[in-house]
Structure 1
Amino acid sequence: MGNLKVITFDLYGTLVDWKSSIGNSLDFIRQGLVDEFFRIEFRNVSSIKGFVRYSEILKGTLKEVLNRNNIEYEEDYGEMLVRMFSKSPFFADSIYGLIKLKRKFKIGIISNTEKRLIEITLAGVEDLFDYVITAEDTKFYKPNVMAFEDSLKIMDIKKDEILHISSYPEYDLETARKLGIRNVHFKRYNLISRIFNNKVFYFHI
């Protein structure tokens, strides 16, 4: 690992279980909406022009999913979803691993969210992170390359000094790979990627 200085993580879906928090919200409205929601959410963050707060992206995605399924959207549904998202619980192995890694490296987050929401998610574990960078800071959403480029500037590190870890090739790892950033596919939810040939990479640090 040589010159490695910072290990960064995707947050939602990698360190915390956003599928359960969002899934519970959607199931409250109607069963069977979860997969469609995540497909549309990725399309929305991938195609967005200019900066929009992530809370508005969540609400807009929910509204589209409900409209597609002939369900009337309520503002309270949107607010429920945003609050549930912000309370996404940490996986136990995330906390355990972060405690160990923090002894040797600086730890960061690069996340598609906004400051007020991530503050809620990280309440009680803020001390485990040296850098917390959101789309509100960079004004770009992953997989846009500028989300990573601007994060590197904020942390004042070079591409060869960082290792990025994510469960999502499509949000994070494909872009990191294009930029020459070392990366690890941390497998959650049985997600696979065409560029990783369904392999999981392990680094002993």
Structure 2
Amino acid sequence: MNLADYDALSFDCYGTLIDWETGLAAVLSAWARESGLDISDEELLLAYGDHEAQVETETPKALYSAVLAEAFRRTGDQLGAPVSQEWAQRLGASVPDWPAFDDSPEALASLARDYKLIIVSNVHREGFAGSNKRLGVTFDRIITAEDVGAYKPAPNHFQALDEALKELGVPRERLLHVAQSLFHDHVPAKRLGLPSVWINRRSGRPGQGATPEPAEAYSYDLEFPDLISFAEVARAAKS
């Protein structure tokens, strides 16, 4: 793959640019301590992940804040520790507090010099507005679950992405998708014939964390352990 062959990059946000597992764990672990549960952050994330994906499938038009709250309640039921309304709302409102990965702002600033940057994210507009302040760049298009009425791996984001490309004057063959989640992003990318780069943020750690195991075939064209490594190769290709 020659990264000079692409003019636009579409990004998953949470897990790729924003450290959603750290953000989730900050609330889940505080709740677990208060509830007297002896459970690690990894175990909490694993218990939570499938519930979030299920809620997104069942209620595709729900705001992400509501998805977080309901997935948290179901996680508590699974673990035998009920989640109060206060705790559920605390997780639902936490998205703007989730930290960016340390390399995200620098990498995005570098990539913005050579590529159009597009967000395709399972989030609501208000949540992403808070996260965007941590990323420090102006994206050329932002496509949220609230905009398309569905959550990845459903195809709605990518259908809206095709329309965004037309508006930006970028041929689809000049688009490259960049994401961490095999389940949410690389499965639909393969299904739709979209080339993709895996930012393997969990490199060196076992399991999928808060992301469900892919239920369908997936593929990716390149793999990097972080975003800055990808940005350096992309910059060199465009030089």
**TM-score calculated relative to the size of structure 2:** 0.76
Q: What residue is the counterpart of 1:148 in the other structure?
A: 158
Q: Give the distance between the partners of 2:27 and 2:188, measured in 1 at CA.
A: 30
User: Which residue of the partner structure matches residue 101 of structure 1?
Assistant: 111
Alignment partner of 1:161 is 2:141: no
Distance 1:124 1:54, change over 3 A: closer
For 2:188, the equivalent position in structure 1 comes to 175
- 1:85 CA drift (Å): 2.5
Residue 154 of structure 1 and its aligned partner are, at CA, apart by 3.2
Structure 1, unmatched stretches of 5+, are: none
1:200 corresponding residue in structure 2: 223
Shift in CA distance, 158/179, structure 1 to aligned 2, threshold 3 Å: farther
Aligned equivalents of 1:167, 1:124: Cα separation in 2:
18
CA shift, 1:128, in A, is 3.4
Q: Distance in 1 between matches of 2:45 and 2:72?
A: 10
**How do residues 11-90 of structure 1 correspond to structure 2 at under 5 angstroms?**
11-30=13-32, 31-32=39-40, 33-45=44-56, 47-48=57-58, 50-90=60-100
Query: Does structure 1 conserve the Cα–Cα contact (< 8 Å) formed by 2:104 and 2:135?
Result: no
User: d(CA) in 1 for partners of 2:172 and 2:136?
Assistant: 25
Secondary structure, aligned partner of 2:62: coil
Q: State the Cα RMSD in Å.
A: 2.3
Moved over 3 A (4+): 124-128, 190-197, 201-205
Query: Relative to structure 1, is the Cα distance of residues 48 and 161 closer, same or farther in structure 2, using a 3 angstrom cutoff?
Result: farther
Identity %: 23
Which is greater in Rg?
A: 2
Q: CA deviation at 1:79?
A: 1.8
Distance in 2 (CA, whole Å) between partners of 1:76 and 1:115 is 22
Give SS of 1:57's match. helix
Q: Which moved more, 1:70-79 or 1:187-196?
A: 187-196
Shift of 1:49: 5.1
Native 8 Å contact 1:17 1:90 kept in 2: yes
| Conserved 8 A contact 1:99-1:128 | no
Choose 102-111 or 27-36, whichever is displaced more: 27-36
Aligned to 1:7: 9
For 2:145 and 2:58, locate their aligned partners in 1 and report how far apart those are by CA, in whole Å: 12
TM-score (norm 1): 0.88
1:71 offset after TM fit, Å? 1.4
State the aligned residue count: 203
Q: Which runs of 5+ in 2 are unaligned?
A: 33-38, 225-229
